[in-house]
Every structure is written in C-alpha cells, then in structure tokens.
Structure 1
Amino acid sequence: MVSQMIDIIVNGKREQVPSGMNVRKLRDWVKPDANIMLINGYPCSLDEILKQGDQILFIRKGEVPDPHEFDLLFASRHSRKVQEQMKKATIGIAGLGGLGSAVCIALARMGIGHLIVADYDFVEPSNLHRQQYSINHIGMAKVDAVVEIISGINPYMKISAHRVRLTVNNISDIFGDADIVIECLDQPEEKAMLIETVIEYLPDVTVIGASGIAGYGRSNHIVTRRLTNRLFVIGDLASEVKVGQPLMAGRVGIAAHHQANLVVCLLMKDPNDVVADVD
C-alpha cells in the first residue's frame, strides 16, 4: 500500500514526506547533527508527528547556514518573488550615523544583495545614544564597524565600504552602480549637495532623503513624501535640531525604517502605498 504523502517546508525547501513521519525520522534524513528543531517557529519534540503545511527548521547550534540554505530561509520569509528582487539590488548609503547605521541593518535583514556605504567618521562614545554601534566599536571607522555588524547578520551580503568624505567630485564614482541612494547625512548643506549631485550626474538613480526627524513624540508626523519621480524625503520637514529638540533614537529609528521600507517598495515597483500627499 502506497503511503499518503504530505507537503512540508524543511529549512526553506519544499519536500514531500510520508504521512505519519515524525521529527526524529526527518531530522535523521535531512540533518542528523541538528540539535535544535523548530516547527512553525516553535520548539518541538523529536516524537512530534508532521502535518501538512508544516515548516520545519533544523539547526546545529553555532553553525552558519551555507549560502544556498541562507537564501532559502530568506525566501521562505519574504517570498521568492521579493527575495529575488532584493538579491539583485545595489543600494548606496551616504552617512553611517543614526539613520545610516539603522538602514544598513534593516537592509541586511531584508536580503539586499549589495550595499555601498560611505562615511569618513569614527565611532565615539556620544554616538551610542542613537546609532547602531556598541561599546566595542568605539574608535573604529564607522564603515568598518558597519561591515562587522552586518557580517554577523547576513554574511553573504556584498559590501563596498568607502571611508571618505563625500564631495561633488567623488559621489558619482562611489555610487555609480547603485539603484537607489539613501541620504543619511547630518548637515543641511551636505544633504543638499548629495541629493543635487546624484540627481544631476546619476540619471538612473533614485534618492531617498530625510528632513525633520529631530526630537521625540509625534511619531506619525514622520511620513514618506515623493517630491519628484526620482526624489523621496522622509520626515515631517519641520523638526530641526535645536536646544531642547535633539536627535533621539526613537524618531531617528522610525525615519530609518521608513527609508528601508521605501527601498523595498521601489524595488517591487510599488511605492504609492507608503507615500503621503505633498502638502
């Protein structure tokens, strides 16, 4: 008598197994040295019976998934359609402070294929209040610290790191291969220079900037606006840094994740759902 088969997903890959198979038999077939077993995101016993549609993850503690397995795991969460678009993308990030360091981490978790990052600065103790660095990064170049952080999240992401101050003369060379450039700089004149240079000299590149993210509260005032076909700005366009209204981790983080979310929408060619009407 032929056993009835059920469809399951094992470490991100679709498989058919006999109905009534337990986790132990599957583990011994797929990954005998696994010592952590999860079904549908929860720990399970080796004797648990598999059911139609179950998603099973076998892990050996401390082992880094190989590139193929890593890709399958991302695709199982994001869908293959989204993951393929993420893998093909090259994203530039200008500045690795509160915005840039957070955007880098979000994009690494989203499976972006190639990041181009640029910053001339070093991590100092005062950066820890809103930037994604740790005590052990103090004194490191920010580009080096970001590479270290990302390698612990997505070791197969390509990163091109430039420890340099961005100018009109080098922006095109640094970001020429990018599909999208995210402006994460501090000073208004630097922000304007970056945006104007990309718009003028890199005609195929879209820019995502930020303006008005200082202070605390008013989370829902931070929105995504389309200013032109190639320029988007995140923020409330009003909250500038001043006495009593500093840059703080909460609002900076909200803006950074608006930027990262817009990257996905643009790559999937569907930005309209996240864009507010320009006042």
Structure 2
Amino acid sequence: METTKVLTKEEIQAALEERHSPEKQKKLSEGRVTIAGLGGLGSNVAYALARIGVGHLHLIDFDVVDITNLNRQQYFTEHIGMYKTDALKSLLQKINPYIDIQTDCIKVTEENLISLFENAGIICEAFDNPEAKAMLVNGILEHFPEKKLVSASGMAGYGSSNTIRTRRLMKNFYLCGDQVTEPTYGNGLMAPRVAICAAHEANMITRLLLGEEEI
C-alpha cells in the first residue's frame, strides 16, 4: 500500500527558492495578502499565491460552496455546502501546509471594513457583486489610502483574452479586467476568462510583493 510522502517545510522552501531564487522567495515568503471574496477570482488568486509560496494569506468570505460555483471556482463536489473559507483553506494546505492562513467567515460591510483590513498587507478585491466591489474599493481608498489595492472589473463571457489588462488607476490602486464586460444571458462568468483576470490580479500582487509597480 502506497503512503503519501509528507514534505518538510525546508523541502518546500528549497524547491521554491530553486525556481524563484532565495532573494525573491524571501520577499514572497514574508508577503501578506488579504483576499476579499473567494469565488472565481479569489479562489484562483489564492491558488496562484499559494503555489509561489506567499507566506501569509487572509481569506474573507461569508458564502458556502454551491453547485453553480463549480464552473469557474477552485472547489469540488465534496465541498458543496461548506463555507468557502474552510474549503479553500483545506485545498491551499494541500499545496503548502506551512502557509499561515487566517480566515474570516463574514460579510464585509461598511461597519466592519476598518477592523477587517487595518492589519492587511496587500488587499485583493475579488467580489462578484458590483455593489460589494464599489463598497470595498471606496472604503479602502478612504480609510487606508496607503495600502496597495488590486481589484478587478470586466471578465465575463468568452471574448478576446487580450482585452483583459492591468491598469494603475491611482498611486496604490490597480484594476484588472476589460472594465466593460458584465455577465449577461449566454455570456456569463466562465472559467477561462475569469481565470485570466484572476491571474492578472495574482501577478500584480506578486510584482508588488517583489517591489515592482505598474506604470
């Protein structure tokens, strides 16, 4: 009977350093990222950051996994009914069990925004709901203008991948997507294009952790 090899923290760190260099991996390992929303954007962002060895992740979402999430989100049938915070944490720990993962199973509101994000490093906005997106972005820009914020808008359907871009809108505010395409009948949120936008967010976060910024 085969047994699963348990990797040590040192083995995983050495593999990451081999790929990224010790200098860059040190910055990634020390990185702190808060992801608000664990759906098609947030779950894919979290996967990417876990795989490159970002050391500290704060996952925020109040929702449970639903069958309709499986078309684009990083969950499986056995997770249906589970809180997304619990399901995603369990999956990320299969990639790297030594990541420091904090979860808050709570809906972000104007009332709790300050307490949830006051200790955040880089903030990733990954909500599906436009009103929730606007509330979070406006709240962070108002209360924490010094924090790096990476957001997304416009990724529905199956249009050209090349229209999804990363733009720096303000000193510390980055927006990924085509800024136009909203979900409509027959042109909803689909795995490939949502994942492309999530990769833009994850890559921008990576660049910021490594000291680079979009011009």
Q: Give the TM-score normalised by the residue count of structure 2.
A: 0.96
CA distance in 1, matches of 2:3, 2:162: 40
Question: In structure 2, the residue corresponding to 1:152 is in which secondary structure?
Answer: helix
Give the C-alpha shift of residue 269 in structure 1: 1.7
List aligned pairs for 1:33-182, cutoff 5 A: 62-182=4-124
Give the C-alpha shift of residue 265 in structure 1: 0.8
Match of 2:133 among 191, 195, 204: 191
List aligned pairs for 1:235-250, cutoff 5 A: 235-250=177-192
CA distance in 1, matches of 2:70, 2:5: 30
CA distance in 2, matches of 1:151, 1:172: 28
> Where does residue 172 of structure 2 map in the other structure?
230
CA distance in 1, matches of 2:98, 2:167: 32
Question: In structure 2, the residue corresponding to 1:167 is in which secondary structure?
Answer: coil
Query: What code does the residue aligned with 2:170 have?
Result: T
Question: In structure 2, the residue corresponding to 1:106 is in which secondary structure?
Answer: helix
Question: Higher RCO, 1 or 2 (CA under 8 Å, sep at least 6)?
Answer: 2
> Which structure has the highest helix share of the two?
2
CA distance in 2, matches of 1:86, 1:248: 30
Query: What code does the residue aligned with 1:144 have?
Result: D
Match of 1:257 among 181, 199, 202: 199
CA distance in 2, matches of 1:243, 1:203: 37
CA distance in 1, matches of 2:19, 2:110: 40
Match of 1:209 among 143, 151, 173: 151
Query: What code does the residue aligned with 1:176 have?
Result: E
CA distance in 1, matches of 2:125, 2:9: 30
Give the C-alpha shift of residue 83 in structure 1: 0.5
Query: What code does the residue aligned with 2:33 have?
Result: I
Q: C-alpha deviations, 1:28-83, integer Å up to 9, x for none?
A: xxxxxxxxxxxxxxxxxxxxxxxxxxxxxxxx962222112221111111111111
> Where does residue 221 of structure 1 map in the other structure?
163
CA distance in 2, matches of 1:226, 1:262: 10
Query: Any gaps of 5 or more consecutive residues in structure 1?
Result: 1-59
Query: What code does the residue aligned with 2:88 have?
Result: V
CA distance in 2, matches of 1:125, 1:226: 35
Query: Any gaps of 5 or more consecutive residues in structure 2?
Result: none
CA distance in 1, matches of 2:114, 2:208: 21
8 Å Cα contact 1:90/1:177 also seen in 2: no
Of all paired residues, the percent bearing the same amino acid is 42
CA distance in 2, matches of 1:187, 1:126: 15
CA distance in 2, matches of 1:113, 1:125: 30
CA distance in 2, matches of 1:78, 1:234: 24
